A = this chain, B = another copy of it.
Amino acid sequence: MKPRITLKKIASEFGVSISTVSKALKDSHEISEETRDKIKAFADFYNYKPNSLALQLRNQKTSVIGVIIPEIVHHFFSTVIDGIEQYATKKGYNVMVCVSNESYEKEVSNFNVLTNGSVDGLIVSIARETQQKNEYTHFEGLIKDDFPLVLFDRINDNLACDKVIIDDVGGAYKATNHLVEIGSKRIALLTTQDFITVGALRKEGYLKSLRKNGIEVDENLIYKIDDSKDLYEQIKKVIFVTNPPDAILAVNEIYAANALKIAKERKLSIPNDIAIIGFTDGLISEFTYPPLSEVVQHGFAMGQQAAELLIKRIEQKTESGFKKEVISTNLKIRRSTLAPN
């Protein structure tokens, strides 16, 4: 690669000092019009652009936001990144994305790489393994130094920083209420293992609705899926039983789509024999048969909100208290819970 042109080279070209060149390019009145013009013409010709590393070092500001997510091939997370990216760009920031791959070790390594000067702040969704180990010292280190940090979706309430979450409890509550309204009595919950906070919260909303509607909780209807094992086989055990549930609330789209597929394999009629609703991650729901009802999550808004909180923090426009923003959900009712008239 050809070395880019620098102030130094321009200066030596005209036999002037670096400061003169710098000032000339900024139209400083300190430099005569004649000198200014010839320097600017030369710089223009060689397409001079200030080296951003040098600027970042001098200004002690990178205008880069680091993002660490558990997965990138994931509709919800990529939607959040989209929100972050768009807001960041609007505010003159760039985005550096790292993937923890649900691994604690990779998350820590990402922390180390990003927080050594290359970014002004960090937006993180916690890796599964980190939640499982309950090991947050890398976060605490940052927090101790007041490093700008925003957590989203997979958060930990004990960490002193800004947070953005989906209204998981409310979403599951609304969805369960909807199932009750259409007449479901035995509503199964397909959730994650307990250490995944969002799974736990959605379970909470489910239970809250059952209680409110006077339905007794049947622990046998609560299935905790282990994401590291075969999904299909686990969900099969929910539906291929002698007395299957008459409704399913799934905490994500994949669980819901699989449940729907398996229910059809058992020749169950949807929604008459079994109604199904999930939390939306993606595009699947629209194209299943019948299309799936969903709790819509608004990842884009979440990303924007996270970026906004972070940038305010970076630019110190926040009154010190930490904020926890809740992005509300809404129900998108499709035919998997609503028989056509």
Contacts and interface: CB of A to CB of B under 8 A. Distances in A.
Contacts of A257: 287
Interface in A69-128: 72-75, 78-79, 81-82, 85-86, 89, 94-99, 106, 112-118
Interface in A215-246: none
Given A289-B288, A289-B289, A116 B283 contact: no
Given A2-B146, A94-B98, A96-B95, A73 B72 contact: no
Interface stretch (A45-53, A182-190, A198-206, A304-312): A45-53
A159 to B, nearest CB: 16
A53 B117 contact: yes
A141 interface: yes
Interface string A132-159: 0000000001000111100000000000
A57 B64 CA distance: 16
Interface string A53-76: 110110000101000000011110
Interface string A20-49: 000000000000000000000000000101
A16 interface: no
A254 B118 CA distance: 38
12 contacts: A1-B145, A47-B141, A49-B115, A51-B57, A52-B113, A53-B56, A53-B62, A64-B96, A73-B78, A81-B97, A282-B282, A287-B287
